[in-house]
Structure 1
Amino acid sequence: MCGSQMLWSAFRGLGRCSSDSFPRIRVHCRSFTHSTPCRSTAKPISAPSLALPREPSLAQKIGRPSSRRQVIFTVLATCTAFTYAAAWTNTETDEWLDKLMRGRAHRAQTWPHTITSMDMKNAANNALAQELRDGLKTVGSVTEGLGTGVRNRIMLVWATVAQSYLNVSEGKRICWKICLLNVGVWLAWKSRRLKPFMLRNFVHDPLSGRSFTMLTSMFSSRIALVLALNLLFLDGFGSSASFHLAQRQERMTDGQIESTTRFHFLAFFVAAGLFAALTSHIIQVKVLYPRLVSRLSLPSSQPAIKPDTWASALRPSPPPRSRLRSFFRSLFSSSHPKNQLTPRVGGLGALYALMTLTALGFPNAELALFYPPNYSVPVQWGVCSVLLLDILGIWRGWRFFDHFAHLGGAAFGAAYYVYGPRFWNWMRAVVADPSHPKS
């Protein structure tokens, strides 16, 4: 009991403690009032500022190649070629006019009153025949120390080649010279030491940024089949195109006389080749290259876009179901991978211009092979068939030939057929010497 009483008395004493035994704690009361919130003048943070920086696409990283240099080079080279050709044609024509006018004074009874282009060409052929005779004499004097049999064979070969060269037209002569240049370039491709040089300077890569290779690639052929086609086309249509250019010049009412057509033919050939190369370059850079980049930018899970144009050849298509379609697809399919920007080699674009000019200038002519079967077809049918084959090659995606360059060359030949003779006559008048007397 004593213990419990002591606890109880202690508890009662604790209850009687004064208020001064503990510190007084005061809590400050705060009144809350409700008011309408005001609009903030700060601009809200836009969503793009909160987003992470977007990674550039593949097309933005690698950029797009430009074709400005190639266009400028083509225009300047074409103007230079025609200016050079017109100046040399005027110079040579003036020289032959002076020679014939001096000789006309001694033969006033037999010489015609007006000197024509045919008169100057006949005089030029006679001068060429005399040069070839002098060359035969030089060969005979050089080979005097050899045996009689060897000397006779050498002179016989020279006489045969010289006679063949003299009997053909002037247009075929210049075509033979271009053929020899093509053969020389083809032989250079066969050299291992020259192969790096040829790859840099005689192949036009649309992504290299070079321009002069559009000109050098015209005379470059790496494959013997392509070289044979170049020589065949050039020998067959080159002389006809040259004859048509001379004929149109004579038929024009205000046409100027000219002693030679080789400079005009060379300028046309170079301009046609450059235009064909530029057409192929622009198509590959502005059409095929962006499509290639867009295909590479697509995610692997995204399906390919269904083709709706000729560019379907550049996109994968489902395999054929029937065996017949599979056979024809394997027969006419491209041997190169899809979307490949192939470097350009060969001058078939310029040859297509010659072919088109010949077909328009001589619509009644016929084409025939020089080996059996000797079946001939109208030239317009042959040209249309070849152009349709190029269109089919573009649609199917063939890469063995540059079909865009072929169509560009054909378009240039058709345009030159309409506007070329007047342009050539105007060009000769621009660079002519006004002080020189005319016949």
Structure 2
Amino acid sequence: MLPYSKLSCLGRSRGLLKSPLQKQTSLRFFMRNKDINSSGKSKRLEIAPRVEPHGGMSDVSFKKLLKPLAFTVVFSAGSFAGCAIWQYENMLTRAQQFAQRSQDMYTDRFPRYKFSSLRQRVNRVWNSLSEGQKVTTAIIGINALVFLAWKIPRFQPAMAKWFCSNPASKAMCLPMVLSSFSHFSVWHLAANMYVLWTFSTTIVNILGKEQFLAMYLSAGVISSLASYLHKTAIVRPGLSLGASGAIMSVLGSVCTQIPQAQLAILFLPWFSFTASSGIKAVLALDTAGVMLGWRVFDHAAHLGGCLFGIWYVKYGSDLIWKRREPLMSQWHAFRQRPRS
């Protein structure tokens, strides 16, 4: 997740912010104006989307964070409940498919073949992916669609309002989720998705795709809440976006579960280190960033996501996921209820 000081996108807006505080805490957009100035060169204007008047020091207070805190609890609980129901439905579907295949073995004497088609080739590639790769592919697809939406000028004011988290904004809750699927540059998107693709298969093999998705969504909101708390504490509001807070939970959970795994940096393949050492270095770096006020990344969001991932694989899975049986029983009873 990147802070507002690092955000620069191509965009268009109708109004300019005149207040220094508004300039400081608004997302910076740059557009190439069609008008030509006296020197014959295109104008390059620094402008901000007209979202709402926010960004002043008085707009940031811990009292204002009660609503995001409640939203984090409700959304996380809903994510785990929804993914538990999804797991129930997947198990039921697999059971029905197994029964159908067993029946077809006795009723169909001759197998039915279909001619090759684009759809079959796509299905063949999709079926060759692991469960973790399938879930990650869906997440990457959503992130790519949101990234493309940033490139449409008419969408940018709405994107700045709903797909960037900011404790000084009137819209505080929903952006906590949406900002974790939002990226401002292709390099930002590519780096985050590469890390997610690298570690997702391992954690899905450990947790299962449903539990992984619940943890990932919850981590996105929790990392945004950590960012809100830090910005409020230092009285420095601003926009942040990116999936790195949620991805840090994946990194933290994998390194905690497999501490002796050997990792390497993409551009330094000859330099390897254990997962335990790597996650300690990441925690130290983000802690230093929070304490020293570094503004390269949103270090508070990274730290919040990573700590949540570590906590979840150590304690959270036992406290939350393994106690889902009452919910499953209620859902089963609901599905069996006769329809009028």
The TM-score normalised by the length of structure 2 is 0.70
Partner in structure 1 of residue 260 of structure 2? 364
1:397 aligns with 2:297: no
Change (3 A) 1:370 1:282: closer
Give the counterpart letter for 2:294 in structure 1.
W
Identity percentage of aligned residues: 27
Secondary structure at the residue paired with 2:80?
A: helix
**Contact between 1:353 and 1:414, CA under 8 Å: does it hold in 2?**
yes
Secondary structure at the residue paired with 2:204?
A: helix
Partner in structure 2 of residue 316 of structure 1? none
Which residue of the other structure, out of 129, 135, 138, is the alignment partner of 1:168? Answer: 129
Partner in structure 1 of residue 83 of structure 2? 85
Secondary structure at the residue paired with 1:368?
A: strand
How far apart are the structure 1 equivalents of 2:227 and 2:57? 24
How far apart are the structure 2 equivalents of 1:394 and 1:83? 33
Mapping of residues 220-369 of structure 1, within 5 Å: 220-246=182-208, 261=209, 263-285=210-232, 287-289=233-235, 340-369=236-265
Report the alpha carbon displacement of residue 220 of structure 1 after superposing the two structures with TM: 0.4
Give the counterpart letter for 1:430 in structure 2.
L
Give the structure with the larger strand fraction. 2
Give the counterpart letter for 1:211 in structure 2.
C
Give the counterpart letter for 1:266 in structure 2.
L
Mapping of residues 198-217 of structure 1, within 5 Å: 198-209=159-170, 210-217=172-179
Report the alpha carbon displacement of residue 359 of structure 1 after superposing the two structures with TM: 0.7
Give the counterpart letter for 1:431 in structure 2.
M
Secondary structure at the residue paired with 1:238?
A: helix
Give the counterpart letter for 1:198 in structure 2.
M
Report the alpha carbon displacement of residue 219 of structure 1 after superposing the two structures with TM: 0.3
Report the alpha carbon displacement of residue 371 of structure 1 after superposing the two structures with TM: 6.0
1:181 aligns with 2:142: yes
Q: Which runs of 5+ in 2 are unaligned?
A: 1-55, 106-111
Which residue of the other structure, out of 424, 432, 435, is the alignment partner of 2:321? Answer: 424
Give the counterpart letter for 1:234 in structure 2.
L
Q: How many residues align?
A: 270
How far apart are the structure 1 equivalents of 2:248 and 2:288? 16
Partner in structure 2 of residue 192 of structure 1? 153
Secondary structure at the residue paired with 1:400?
A: coil
**Contact between 2:60 and 2:237, CA under 8 Å: does it hold in 1?**
no
Partner in structure 2 of residue 44 of structure 1? none
Partner in structure 2 of residue 300 of structure 1? none
More displaced 10-residue stretch of structure 1: 200-209 or 222-231: 222-231
Change (3 A) 1:395 1:185: same
Partner in structure 1 of residue 52 of structure 2? none
**Contact between 1:342 and 1:399, CA under 8 Å: does it hold in 2?**
no
Give the counterpart letter for 1:288 in structure 2.
I
Q: Which runs of 5+ in 1 are unaligned?
A: 1-58, 108-129, 141-157, 247-260, 290-339
Root mean square deviation of aligned Cα: 3.1
Report the alpha carbon displacement of residue 395 of structure 1 after superposing the two structures with TM: 3.2
